[in-house]
Amino acid sequence: MKGGVGFPTKWFLGGLALLVAAVLLGVSAGAASVSAADIARHVLSLLPFGTESTLTEREEALLLELRLPRVVMGLLVGALLATAGGAYQGVFRNPLADPFLLGAAAGAGLGATVVMVFGGEWFDAPRTMVPVAAFVGALVGVFSAYLLGSTAGGGGTASLLLAGVAVSSFLSAAQTLVQQMGIDQLQQIYSWLLGSLGRGGWQDVQLVLPYAVVGLVSLLACGHLLDMLALGDDKAVSLGLNPTLVRVAVIFAASLATAAAVSVSGLIGFVGIVVPHIVRRLVGSNYRMILPVTVIMGGAFMVLVDIAARTLVAPAELPIGVVTAFLGAPFFVLVLRATRHRAT
């Protein structure tokens, strides 16, 4: 199966099984425990001729209004960040490309912060403009890193990463400056920057869902184009492909996915490196196989990480970005060492 041309059915089904398990664990785990069996009976009670629910009104409210929207948000954010990371790696042909290393997340953070601070003066409904501003910021960040890495450093792996670090640092500094202009929103901004899935409930899910659908569908449709790009520009042109146009389209879609995730969850790093690399190890290097499995695995990964964030130090809650950093930083070092060994 690995490296073949057929669809990786076993890994896709395995990912779905992991996803279902993560969802059940996500809605049942917490200070007030609700068993998976009771949840299953409640779901069946919603169907015609289903069994009677055993949940109390309080448990039902806890499940439907707090935990379920949080789990759904985790599925969306994880799928978006992981798939965007995989797409960036394909379009730049760089195994270390990631929304956070390329400046996309920092740009999205800056755009969202600007709207949080000044949006009330500019828009009638500033909250709905956060994803749009994050998208514009993400595009500015990733294109700036790509242009800087290509013109100043020759476009290699090291130059692209250094350019991304430089652009991210600049955009983060600009974001700090904007924060200081909005003292009244400072606590909200800092809470958002640390990453969380439990703030807005179904309202945030409704806000981000259209952007998530467009971003993920666009990226999945580009899988075969990324496979053609992997052959090299000359070969891609001979097959009738316009490499520049494809890169722009994929970058737009990946930046939209990143912005959608960042606008509702804050800055959650390393998902776009960890999940695509694990999937690539499982299914091979064909992006028509990598991206669909990454969508599922990314969602499951984020739900499981969120469970850890809200249970490890219960009754307190860790920022989810802290948990992903603890997991992702060592993983990034391993990927970096493997990349250097292959280069030598």
Nearest to 297 by CA among 80, 125, 142: 80
Nearest to 18 by CA among 327, 318, 300, 275: 300
User: Higher confidence at residue 161 or residue 169?
Assistant: 169
Q: And the tokens for 153?
A: 């450093």
Q: What is the pLDDT of residues 202-259, one digit of tens each?
A: 888 988 899 999 999 999 999 999 999 888 888 989 988 998 899 889 988 998 899 8
- The pLDDT, as a whole number, for residue 196 is 78
Q: How many CB atoms lie within 10 A of CB 35?
A: 13
Q: Which residue has the tokens 């896709």?
A: 12
H or E, element range at 225: helix 223-229
| C-alpha torsion 248→253→258→264, nearest 10 | 140
Q: What is the pLDDT of residues 46-79, one digit of tens each?
A: 776 666 777 777 777 778 888 889 999 999 999 9
Whether 153 has a pLDDT exceeding 70, the answer reads no
- Are 99 and 254 within 8 A, CB to CB? yes
Q: What is the pLDDT of residues 332-344, one digit of tens each?
A: 888 777 766 565 5
- Are 296 and 12 within 8 A, CB to CB? yes
Q: Give the CATH number of domain 83-343.
A: 1.10.3470.10
- The pLDDT, as a whole number, for residue 16 is 92
Per-position b or e across 226-255, b if 16+ CB within 10 A of its CB: bbbbeeeeeebeeeebebeebbebbbbbbb
Displacement of CA 200 from its chain's centroid (Å): 17
For residues 117 and 4, what is the distance between their CA atoms, to the nearest angstrom? 50
- Are 256 and 214 within 8 A, CB to CB? yes
- Are 28 and 70 within 8 A, CB to CB? no
Q: What is the pLDDT of residues 7-34, one digit of tens each?
A: 678 888 999 999 999 998 888 876 666 7
Phi, psi dihedral angles at 297 (to 5 degrees)? -65, -35
For residues 218 and 285, what is the distance between their CA atoms, to the nearest angstrom? 19
- The pLDDT, as a whole number, for residue 1 is 40
Query: Per-residue confidence at 80, pLDDT binned at 50, 70, 90?
Result: very high
